[in-house]
């Protein structure tokens, strides 16, 4: 008898981040986070990496402040996810709704209540919430007072935040993630860790010390989750995408290996519990001296993640030959050489479905832990016509990626689920635009915050519904 490739209980769904869809940016006692000071437009790039100021500026437009107003419309939106048959909804908790300054003693009850209501709404439709504890939104006060994640103080504040949310939601949430795209701190340090870097500082020193603090905090979150919710699982999350060498020249091959290690460094620590051997030389040569205590080492080794989740948008390509560097493109903050074998999206992100299979195999070979694809999708400039969007290009993109995901499962990879990025249109993290849309659901809102916020089903809505109903048999 024909047996489906995708296992029963596979968690199909969609993924979002609080700061990209909630809005309600000062409502019910919420504090400001790093994301709240990210403007739309040309200045955004600088703010993502190293903002010149941590204050709001009247001249800027801040897309996270209203976003798509999920804060008030979550019931309607979750009903639409349920209509598509979602088994899982990945969302993040905004730390600043729970602790407005990050270092407060008493949590904000109104913030806790909001997520209670959201989880109840999911569970009403038997949708499993998958919660990211920090998705790019370090409390702004922690950046101002302590310099963000460069300070070890944040480890304790984060631990406190984790204890509060695990205790509060222990009966409702069984799937957790610690830090979204933890390796992003190397590429966009402010958004990754709420840190700003001075002109006279060694950027690598600051980034790796901050990363270390997050790794210890992540391990402490694993510890607390296992203690407080023994029947839950908790994972790490990597901005993944394998690196191809530009040519078969050994220099290119080694450089691709090093580039992959730059990302795998994080998951190597989270999965294996200690610093990989290759960091020793790298740290020495780059004058990086990390403050790692004996206690840190014990925390890391004793609290390993249960699974590895990752985002996959594209593969990367690298060369040791400087003369090909003029062909660089930036995808999800990663610089890469333009790959002549691939097509590119409107935002110049490489489209590489086979890369997803390669990435799955690479990560599984490395760790033999269950994997979870928690972000994947196509950002496109959709046009609403006759109350819908004919997004055949999105269907094509997803079909091809899901076909490769199935190949990966056939290769032996243990995969818990697939949540596509932005099942409803939301603010783009990188560009701040609304017009970079990923959803199955269109939201009437433009780049300047104008629009009715009305929701419309795109063509891909019914397509994804059928994919889920057939457990991936029909693509
Ligand atoms: C990842 C983030 C998401 C998301 C996605 C798409 O880096 O985890 O928050 O936004 O990329 O990127 P963008 O919004 O820039 O298109």
Tens digits of residue pLDDT in 415-463: 999 999 999 999 999 999 999 999 999 999 999 999 999 999 999 999 9
- State how far the Cα of 138 lies from the Cα of 32, in Å rounded to an integer: 9
The yes-or-no answer on residue 121 being catalytic is: no
pTM for the whole structure: 0.98
* 372-427 residue pLDDT tens: 999 999 999 999 999 999 999 999 999 999 999 999 999 999 999 999 999 999 99
Mutate-to-test residue for ligand 1 from 310, 375, 381, 420, highest number of ligand atoms within 8 A of CB: 375
Q: Radius of gyration over alpha carbons of the chain, in Å?
A: 21
At residue 402, the pLDDT reads 98
Contact of 133 with 176, CB cutoff 8 Å: yes
Q: Identify the burial level of 344 via C-beta atoms within 10 angstroms of its C-beta, where 0-12 means exposed, 13-18 middle and 19 or more buried.
A: middle
- State how far the Cα of 70 lies from the Cα of 76, in Å rounded to an integer: 9
Backbone angles phi, psi at 131, to 5 degrees: -105, 125
Q: Helix/strand/coil (H, E, C) string of 207-225?
A: HHHHHHHHHHHHHHHHHHH
How crowded is residue 204: how many other Cβ atoms within 10 Å of its Cβ?
Answer: 15
pLDDT band per the 50, 70, 90 thresholds, residue 328: confident
The yes-or-no answer on residue 285 being catalytic is: no
Q: Which position has the higher pLDDT, 327 or 279?
A: 279
pLDDT band per the 50, 70, 90 thresholds, residue 219: very high
Mean model confidence pLDDT for the chain: 97
- State how far the Cα of 319 lies from the Cα of 252, in Å rounded to an integer: 5
Can you say whether residue 283 is alpha, beta or left, with left for phi > 0 and alpha for psi between -120 and 50 degrees? alpha
Q: Which residues contact 393 (CB under 8 A, 6 or more apart)?
A: 378, 380
**Atom of ligand 1 at shortest range from CA of 332:** 7
Ligand 1 within 6 A of CB of 375:
yes
* 29-64 residue pLDDT tens: 999 999 999 999 999 999 999 999 999 999 999 999
* 276-314 residue pLDDT tens: 999 999 999 999 999 999 999 999 999 999 999 999 999
Cα-to-centroid distance, 355 and ligand 1 (Å)? 18
Q: Is the pLDDT of residue 324 over 90?
A: no
Mutate-to-test residue for ligand 1 from 47, 184, 332, 439, highest number of ligand atoms within 8 A of CB: 332
Q: Identify the burial level of 239 via C-beta atoms within 10 angstroms of its C-beta, where 0-12 means exposed, 13-18 middle and 19 or more buried.
A: buried
At residue 2, the pLDDT reads 63
- In this prediction, what percent of the chain has a pLDDT beyond 70? 99
Q: Is the pLDDT of residue 339 over 60?
A: yes
Ligand 1 within 6 A of CB of 181:
yes
* Average pLDDT of the segment spanning 124-140: 98
At residue 202, the pLDDT reads 97
- State how far the Cα of 16 lies from the Cα of 32, in Å rounded to an integer: 19
* 14-28 residue pLDDT tens: 999 999 999 999 999
User: Which among 295, 375, 400, 414 is annotated as catalytic?
Assistant: 375
**Atom of ligand 1 at shortest range from CA of 349:** 16
At residue 1, the pLDDT reads 52
Residue with tokens 């480890």: 155
């Amino acid at each position: 008898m024909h047996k489906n490739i995708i296992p029963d209980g596979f968690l199909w769904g969609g993924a979002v981040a609080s700061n990209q869809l909630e809005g309600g940016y000062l409502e019910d006692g919420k504090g400001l986070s790093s994301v709240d000071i990210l403007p739309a437009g040309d200045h955004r790039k600088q703010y993502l990496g190293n903002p010149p100021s941590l204050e709001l500026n009247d001249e800027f437009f801040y897309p996270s402040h209203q976003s798509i107003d999920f804060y008030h419309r979550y019931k309607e939106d979750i009903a639409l996810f349920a209509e598509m048959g979602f088994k899982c909804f990945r969302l993040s908790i905004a730390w600043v709704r729970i602790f407005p300054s990050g270092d407060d003693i008493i949590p904000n009850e109104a913030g806790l209540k909001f997520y209670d209501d959201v989880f109840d709404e999911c569970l009403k439709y038997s949708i499993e919430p998958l919660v990211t504890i920090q998705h790019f939104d370090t409390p702004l006060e922690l950046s101002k007072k302590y310099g963000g994640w460069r300070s070890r103080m944040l480890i304790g504040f984060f631990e406190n935040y984790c204890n509060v949310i695990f205790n509060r939601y222990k009966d409702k949430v069984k799937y957790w993630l610690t830090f979204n795209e933890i390796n992003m701190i190397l590429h966009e340090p402010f958004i990754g860790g709420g840190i700003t870097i001075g002109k006279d500082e060694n950027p690598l020193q600051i980034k790796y010390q901050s990363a270390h603090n997050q790794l210890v905090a992540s391990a402490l979150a694993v510890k607390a989750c296992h203690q407080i919710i023994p029947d839950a699982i908790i994972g790490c999350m990597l901005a993944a995408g394998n690196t191809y060498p530009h040519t078969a020249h050994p220099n290119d091959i080694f450089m691709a290996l090093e580039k992959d290690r730059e990302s795998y460094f994080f998951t190597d620590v989270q999965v294996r519990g200690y610093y990989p051997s290759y960091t020793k030389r790298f740290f020495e040569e780059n004058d990086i001296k990390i403050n790692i205590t004996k206690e840190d080492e014990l925390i890391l080794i004793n609290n390993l993640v249960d699974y590895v989740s990752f985002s996959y948008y594209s593969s990367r390509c690298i060369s040791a030959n400087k003369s090909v560097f003029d062909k660089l493109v930036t995808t999800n903050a990663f610089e890469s050489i333009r790959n002549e074998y691939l097509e590119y999206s409107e935002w110049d992100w490489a489209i590489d479905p086979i890369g997803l299979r390669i990435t799955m195999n690479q990560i599984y070979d490395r760790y033999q832990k269950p994997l979870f694809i928690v972000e994947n999708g196509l950002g496109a400039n959709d046009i609403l016509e006759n109350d819908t969007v004919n997004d055949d290009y999105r269907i094509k993109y997803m079909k091809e990626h899901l076909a490769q995901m199935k190949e990966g499962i056939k290769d032996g990879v243990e995969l818990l689920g697939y949540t596509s990025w932005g099942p409803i249109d939301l603010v783009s993290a990188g560009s701040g635009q609304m017009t970079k849309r990923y959803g199955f659901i269109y939201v009437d809102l433009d780049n300047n915050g104008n629009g009715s916020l009305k929701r419309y089903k795109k063509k891909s809505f019914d397509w994804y519904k059928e994919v889920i109903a057939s457990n991936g048999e029909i693509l």
